[in-house]
Structure 1
């Protein structure tokens, strides 16, 4: 089931920026207000799309998101060209004025602000009784934006802990509204759960082909709610919720070819990729003719050539900018005791789909296999390049990408992740038997991978060790490991141990368990500023 978004901005953005009504002696009767603009199905739809658009704002999926969490989770490490603020991330040498910290905060609250507008305006909108589809859309629009609002708060509470809980669209904000204090973590989680339950009830299982461009489905809400329960350590609730995705009416399954998840156009073909539950769509240099889109280096709605895309292929690409490398730690994780005969080592087949390397590591040793039909593959220059990224790259099609306009979508939630989260929910409750074993082995037995299956998981501690490795291998370079290490409570010991071996440093400090509250928020919100300890959080 595909979900990818056709981002377009229209006059809805003008209306979304209105924060108050001024008492003027002369009123422009043709100007939009929040009362006059959101009065049609089309206008509300535009506002919903504008809410999705926050996913590609600065700090999010177009560029900074993958750098931030691949570096902090130590899937990636800096190469020599990586300088400036990104290098500070790689070294855990960041503070409240770090660009990425502020950009992520700002983008997520922009999503929340827009969602609040849509939810408020859609609730007072009167659908045309002669057009039944409008009543359906009213329910859908509210559910979509509640999903997006929950997604934003999910990221905020995990990254920053206690945060201001802004739940309503306020036309005339008071100083108290502006200087809103931070809510307890438990309250934020409760709000996320409520939004996702509402979204699950209001979202369709699927959309028509003309409406399906990246919109959140019921499956996306179920997946994020189950993930929320897992992060809250509500294991039984996580098990119940995530199990839904393995049954009708849902029809998710693993993509037969692993890299169809990270390659265009196969990622958008439901026959080849039935695995994606929610993704951020990119479309290389495409002009849809419907408003300004996004350029990777910060265009947002104001400019950008009407294209949504990511710069990851160019910035991570070993034959392009080569800003980051795959860590030796990540590479070595793909070699581990054989599941059947533990006395000997086993090289996981997913290595060849994840990174370029040498034969001993299991990494891909050839590239540009399809540049010209009939021309043999080219040997990857491991001796000079070392371990480099294959995921989200184009080197199966061309020897150099050469531009910041990758059309490969960003995977936010996919079915393999759900299966592993479901397995974890069993294991965390002490069940290491048939159910979690089958889920883990299902991921390993993807047709293009066919990794050896585990005959058993053993004790709870051993089962968790296997589960942790499975998540690391399956989701390498997908901005997952940082969040996993934090929620498992092993981030400091794991990162420092790995860094000590690889580069002789131990950069992770206790304060790094949460991001610092951004300096811009401290300057703008006196209640938050007064609630910060040690100039950090």
Structure 2
């Protein structure tokens, strides 16, 4: 996307469900008509909503997922320089409703949803004299895609959540004190939004300045993942097959190219958080957070660390080409040209060689969904629909493994064995891409607890397949109720 398009100021005027007090005649009324006068402004408004995925600070796809979600898995832990007590609590599974990372997950998601609601309403009402019909429809469907993505995250994190599809226009009790909707109703809205977004252009139809925007393939792919999460296997398989057959994606020949700066938004990248250091955007903070802290000239934070007891590093075959891309076991100092070995492997996917001393300016994108995952979604869903693993499911799994130079599966054994093969392949293929917690949680409480306790995280409990509704939101909104698993825990 064109980095010169900026976030329009009105979107930041209010954060849903986060006002400390209400006034009978509030001065803060969200007047937005003046921001949707022409096509350029409409495009800028939607572009600004994309920025909410990855803007500066600990925003959703710029480290908040990692410190607020992924720490609660068997693959990650708070590193030596992760000083925030709330982050360390999530890492140790001792977090509670007062955790400030839970607050930010909720707050930032609803802020982004409100921005999409504003876009959908106001752009839909623009006249032919203000905007061409093709662009109007496209922008509305981009906004629906983004709204669906945020609700998909929220419903997986928190279970029942408020479902708001109209913009907050006045800071009134009627608009702010919203009760929770059922998970079923939230998923219905997600599917509706993504089905509408399937009318977006194919990603190849976008010019250079629009690369990275949501596309038809993005909507179909996210919908396949939604169905997979819901265990609607036939729908998940069909939608993944649609993407495979019709959307013209493919794997890069070499795994390293998935994270190459000069190949961003390429044939494997279905939808990504866009980072561009030193250009008005902000860099991918995961590069700095995971980089070594004790090597001269690297200047890393080492706040995101591998949970060694989980056995992830050892699960890779020695010839697996993903291993040296995903992890580093040592680096050469740019200051003295000496090699420094690390005591434990550290994450390396987003390390940008062009900014060695300042990884906060890493320009590597973070994949939100990519073609390798679609192949694995197809394999998993197909396996659930057959008595024994099919040739097509095995072939999809082997495409991912073959690209990595991992051993191919000639026979996959039973349905149960193949399920675990696919699941472990997701773990290795999608390391540090904000997938592990979602995968563990969707397998259920028993699976989650077993995996974490086997990795030495003995505090893991059934309630941890959801996060608690933030206590601050409960205090502010009398119509909100705590998730049942977190009542009297």
Common fold by TM > 0.5 = yes
Aligned partner of 1:391 in structure 2 is: 349
C-alpha distance in 2 between matches for 1:488 and 1:367:
41
C-alpha distance in 1 between matches for 2:231 and 2:422:
16
Which segment drifts farther, 325-334 or 67-76?
Answer: 67-76
- Residue 485 (structure 1) aligned to one of 440, 448, 451: 440
- Deviations 1:481-501, CA, capped at 9 Å, x for gaps: 1111110121111011112xx
- Residue 429 (structure 1) aligned to one of 385, 392, 395: 385
Shift of 1:44: 1.3
Give SS of 1:278's match. strand
- Residue 407 (structure 2) aligned to one of 431, 447, 452: 452
Shift of 1:415: 0.5
- Distance change >3 Å, CA 162–CA 314, structure 1 → 2: same
- Distance change >3 Å, CA 530–CA 517, structure 1 → 2: closer
Residue 258 in structure 1 maps to residue 255 in structure 2: yes
- Distance change >3 Å, CA 433–CA 533, structure 1 → 2: closer
Residue 462 in structure 1 maps to residue 460 in structure 2: no
Answer whether contact 1:310 1:404 (CA < 8 A) is retained.
Answer: yes
Answer whether contact 1:7 1:53 (CA < 8 A) is retained.
Answer: no
Matches within 5 A, 1:239-250: 239-248=237-246, 250=247
Aligned partner of 1:117 in structure 2 is: 118
Answer whether contact 2:52 2:112 (CA < 8 A) is retained.
Answer: yes
C-alpha distance in 1 between matches for 2:271 and 2:319:
30
Shift of 1:78: 2.9
Shift of 1:33: 3.3
Which segment drifts farther, 231-240 or 86-95?
Answer: 86-95
Shift of 1:532: 6.5
Shift of 1:81: 2.3
Answer whether contact 1:316 1:389 (CA < 8 A) is retained.
Answer: yes
- Distance change >3 Å, CA 450–CA 16, structure 1 → 2: same
Shift of 1:34: 2.3
- Deviations 1:247-292, CA, capped at 9 Å, x for gaps: 23x2111112212222323335x3xxx2100011111111xxxxxx
- Residue 326 (structure 2) aligned to one of 338, 345, 354: 354
- Residue 278 (structure 2) aligned to one of 270, 282, 285: 285
Shift of 1:412: 0.5
Answer whether contact 1:69 1:482 (CA < 8 A) is retained.
Answer: yes
Answer whether contact 2:68 2:102 (CA < 8 A) is retained.
Answer: no
- Residue 47 (structure 2) aligned to one of 49, 53, 59: 49
Shift of 1:464: 0.8
C-alpha distance in 2 between matches for 1:514 and 1:536:
15
Aligned partner of 1:315 in structure 2 is: 289
- Distance change >3 Å, CA 534–CA 76, structure 1 → 2: closer
Matches within 5 A, 1:207-222: 207-222=205-220
- Distance change >3 Å, CA 327–CA 120, structure 1 → 2: same
- Distance change >3 Å, CA 18–CA 311, structure 1 → 2: closer
Shift of 1:23: 8.9
Aligned partner of 1:87 in structure 2 is: 88
Shift of 1:18: 7.5
Answer whether contact 1:276 1:415 (CA < 8 A) is retained.
Answer: yes
C-alpha distance in 1 between matches for 2:232 and 2:488:
29
Q: Which 5+ residue runs of structure 2 have no aligned equivalent?
A: 16-21
Aligned partner of 1:68 in structure 2 is: 68
C-alpha distance in 1 between matches for 2:136 and 2:441:
38
Aligned partner of 2:179 in structure 1 is: 181
Q: Which 5+ residue runs of structure 1 have no aligned equivalent?
A: 287-305, 336-345, 358-364, 500-504
Residue 157 in structure 1 maps to residue 150 in structure 2: no
Aligned partner of 1:267 in structure 2 is: 264
Residue 17 in structure 1 maps to residue 13 in structure 2: yes
- Distance change >3 Å, CA 146–CA 366, structure 1 → 2: same
C-alpha distance in 1 between matches for 2:459 and 2:30:
51
Answer whether contact 1:492 1:509 (CA < 8 A) is retained.
Answer: yes
Answer whether contact 2:77 2:304 (CA < 8 A) is retained.
Answer: yes
Answer whether contact 2:441 2:465 (CA < 8 A) is retained.
Answer: yes
- Deviations 1:463-485, CA, capped at 9 Å, x for gaps: 11211111111111211111111
- Residue 327 (structure 1) aligned to one of 307, 311, 320: 307
Give SS of 1:55's match. coil
Give SS of 2:367's match. strand
- Distance change >3 Å, CA 393–CA 525, structure 1 → 2: same
- Distance change >3 Å, CA 433–CA 309, structure 1 → 2: same
Aligned partner of 2:371 in structure 1 is: 415
Give SS of 1:445's match. helix
Measured on the aligned residues, the alpha-carbon RMSD in Å equals: 3.0
